[in-house]
Chain A
Amino acid sequence: MTGNKADGFGLGLRPVYYPDILDSPPPVDWFEIISENYMVPGGRPLAMLDRLRADYPMRMHGVSLSLASTDPLDFDYLRALKNLIARVEPELVSDHLAWTGVHGLNLHDLLPAPLTEESLDHCVERAARVQDFLGRRIALENPSTYVSFAADEMDEADFLAELSRRADCLLLLDVNNVFVSSFNHGFDGKAYLERIPKDRVAQIHIAGHTDLPTHKIDTHDQPVCDEVWELFSHVRRRFGPIPAMIERDDNFPPFAELLAELAHLRALAEQEEAAPA
C-alpha cells in the first residue's frame, strides 16, 4: 500500500492571508485547511474556501477527531467532516494521535494518549471505524507532548507504526513535533524516525515552536528553527518525496516571509534529491 507520493509543497491556509492570496496567487502547490474552520453553515469562510479551491488542490487537517478519547465517536462531527470532504475533494484528510476531552467536554487541546496496549487497541478500532464511515483512509499526526505516563508500555513511534499497520491508516509526520517531543522526553529524534514505516507517511508538517529552558512548546508562532530544517533534510533522505508544508498559527509574519520559508523548504528538498544516494 502507498500513501499519496505526489510531491508538492503547501501552506496552511489561514484567514489572515486571504487578501494576500487573492491579490497575487502565490506559488504554492496546495493549501491545507483546518477542517473545523469550515464546518460552519455559510458566509465568508465557505465562500473563500470555494473560491480558493477553484485554483488550488487542498488537504484537510482536523483537530477535533479525538481519536484516543474514551468518549464515543462523535458522529455529528464525522457527518460534518464527510460533508466538507465532499465539498473540498481533498487529496488527504488528517487528524492527530490525541484526545481533546472526555465526559462530553472539549479542552480545545491535543492531549497526549497513554502509550499502552489498551490505548493502541482503542485507537486502532476507532481509526478503522472512522475510515469506514468516511469511506477513505485518514492520516494521523504524531503530536507534540509535554508529559508521558507511568503506565506507558511502548514508544510513540512504535505505537504509530502499529496503529497505522493494524488500522491500515496513513501517517502525517510532523517534523517539529518530533523535535519538540524528543527534547521534552529526552529521546533521539532520528532514532524515532527510523521506526516510522516509510510506506505509511503521506504528508509532512514543518513549523516553529517556543523554547523554554526545560521544555519546548509547539506554538506555531515562530520561524522554523535550524534543527528542524536539518531534521527535515534527514526525513527527506529517509522517506523520499512526500508532500510537505509549513504551518503558522500565530504571530503571523508578512505573507512574503512565509513564502520565503516555503521556498527554503523546497530548496532543501531539491538539495536532497540532487545529492548522491
Chain B
Amino acid sequence: MKLAKIQAAFQASVLAEAPSPDFLRLLRPPTRAARVEDVFAVYHQGYRLRLAEFLAHDYPLLREVLGDEAFGAIVEAYIAAQPSPYRSARWYGAGLADFLRATPPFSQDSLACGVAALEAAMTRSFDAADATPLPVEILGVTPPDDWPRLRFGFHESIELVDLSAEALAAYEAVQTEEEAAPGEGDVAVLVWRQELEVNYRALDELEALALRELIRGATFGETCALLAFARPNENAEELTMEAANFLARWFADGLIVAAAPAEENLFEATA
C-alpha cells in the first residue's frame, strides 16, 4: 500500500470513534498486548487527551466557572467537531471561544461564551506582536489645531471583548476567589498587554465607542463627532474633554504606539 493511503487511513482511524478493522490489518501484531488496538490506543486516546490538555491549559477559569463536567462536555464536543488545522496547539485553543459562540446549545450559554471569549482574548494578547508605546508628551507638542486630525496606531495586543456582565463577574470571582457580584446586560472589556503583563478592564459605553472608532481608523475629531451624535443631550465640549481624558489614559496604559495628523486629502476623503 502506498504511503499516502497508509497515512490517510491512520489519521482517519485516530479521528474516528474507533479505528477501522481495515486499517488495523495494516499494522503488525503487537509484541505483548493482546490486540493491536490496545497499542494503537496510544495514538487514538492520546489525541483526545492531548487536545483536552491544551484546552484545560488555555481555559483554566472557564473550567473553574463551569466545573469539570460541563467543561469536559464542551471540550469533547469541540474536539469531535473540529480537528486541528494548526501547526501549533495555541491556535487550536484559541478557536474554542468561536466554536462556543457558533454552536448550539453552547451558543445559548452566555456565561460559558463570555468567559471563554475573555480567556481567548487574554491568550492572544499574551504573545501578540511587540511595539513601543508612544509617550503622552507627543500630545503636548501637537498644535491644538492638529488634534482633530490626529489618527492613532494601537498596540497589537489590544482586544475588545463583548460579554455578559454575568460572565465578567464570574471570571473575576474565580480570579479573586470572592463572591461574584450580580451583573446585568452586556459589557465591553478591554484586554491589553503592558510590558509583558496582560491586563483587562471593563469600559463604559462611551469609552468603548471612542476606542472602537479610533481603532477603526477615525480621527480624533471624527470620534468626538460620533460621541456627540451618540449623546445628543450632552454638552459636546464636555464630551470632547472626556474623549481627551480617555486618550490620556490610553497613553498611560501603553495602548497607543503611533500618532500622526491624517493626510489632508485622506481627511477630506473620509470627512
Contact = CB atoms under 8 A, between A and B. Distances in A.
Interface of A: 36, 39-47, 64, 68-70, 74, 77, 99-109, 111, 114, 116, 118-119, 122, 146-152, 183-186, 213-215, 217
B87 A74 contact: yes
A185 B27 contact: no
A114 B27 contact: no
Interface string B49-62: 01100100000000
Nearest to B4: A70
A214 B27 contact: no
Contacts of B156: 41-42
B88 A39 contact: yes
A68 B4 CA distance: 10
Interface string B79-91: 0000111111110
B31 interface: yes
B47 A109 contact: yes
What 7 pairs across the A-B complex have the smallest Cβ distances? A42-B130, A41-B129, A43-B127, A214-B33, A40-B127, A186-B31, A70-B4
For chain A, what secondary structure do more than half of its interface residues adopt (helix, strand, loop), or is it mixed? loop
A214 B84 contact: no
B196 A47 contact: yes
A102 B39 contact: no
B39 A215 contact: yes
B26 interface: yes
B32 A149 contact: no
Interface stretch (B7-15, B173-181, B213-221): B7-15
B41 to A, nearest CB: 9
B7 A99 contact: yes
13 contacts: A42-B128, A42-B129, A44-B126, A104-B85, A105-B84, A107-B84, A108-B89, A150-B27, A150-B28, A186-B31, A214-B31, A214-B33, A214-B39
A102 B46 contact: no
B36 interface: yes
Interface in B36-50: 36, 38-40, 42-43, 46-47, 50
Interface string B122-149: 0001111110000000000000000000
Given A102-B7, A107-B11, A147 B88 contact: no
Contact of A42 (B7, B85, B87, B127): B127
A69 B7 contact: yes
Nearest to A62: B87
Contact of B26 (A41, A46, A146, A151): A151
Contacts of B26: 149-151
Contact of A214 (B25, B38, B83): B38
Given A146-B39, A184-B30, 9 more contacts: A41-B128, A43-B125, A43-B127, A69-B7, A74-B87, A103-B8, A103-B11, A105-B84, A108-B51
B39 A105 contact: no
Nearest to B40: A147
